Structure 1
Amino acid sequence: MPLRNNVTRLLDSRKIKYELFEFSPEKHSAEETAALLGVPEDHVYKTLVVLRDVRGKKPLLAMVPAGRELNLKALAASLGEKKLKMATQREAEELTGLLVGGISALALLNRGFEICIECAALALPPAGIHISAGQ
């Protein structure tokens, strides 16, 4: 039976075409996922949880290609923030309710997170981007 979760229901409700790939439950990095799919690393986007310096302000989700590191200074400048920092694994899981390796911006779409995605994603064809459906 195909996987059904909030992400697949969201995509189905908006009539967005997608292809679902299921992997073993072990954690897989974005780089490992690209290798398993046989696609370039810049086609697989990982979702990172980023904490803001302002108390009480909701963290944001940054989507970057596998194999690339998030430039926190550049992201902060683009958002008009003074300082940003990466959430620890524990913080990321507590804040999202998802396991690291399965954090999905789509699964968290209606949870109040600001979502930022690297501009390079705009150059990819719709079928060329791979993201987690959550775990």
Structure 2
Amino acid sequence: YKALRSDVVEGKIKDPRDVDSTYESRREFDRYRGGYYNGMVNAYGYDIPNDLSEESVQLKIDSMILTAKLAALTPPQGYPNAPYYFTPENLEWYYKRHKLDAKLDPRIPAIYRYNFPEDLKEKIKAYAREHNIKE
């Protein structure tokens, strides 16, 4: 995370949350993010080298166990109940593959969702007509 963040701060890659981010800059960020993620993965499937001291081996094992436990408990953003952030392209991908509930799509204004109260919808529309508010 720190390496990716420092590259964003230094201007090597563009933060997809910026107002002026484009489709291409978000795709580039996704490509870089995958590389950083793959670089951070611990190789749990590999043997520990024989030339390490007992202390180094024990430290490596303990750190691998601790990392796995923390990863199991911590959401992707690093704090409990953290919201997920999706770029528009990722969000489209998830909805097309039915990974998220399409009825709760945040791109649809709340008033047009299926579970919005009808009486409140009518009050809002009446207020909009009264004050000449268009969409």
TM-score by length of 1: 0.21
Greater percentage in helix: 2
Larger RCO (CA under 8 A, 6+ residues apart): 1
TM-score by length of 2: 0.21
Structure number with greater Rg is: 2
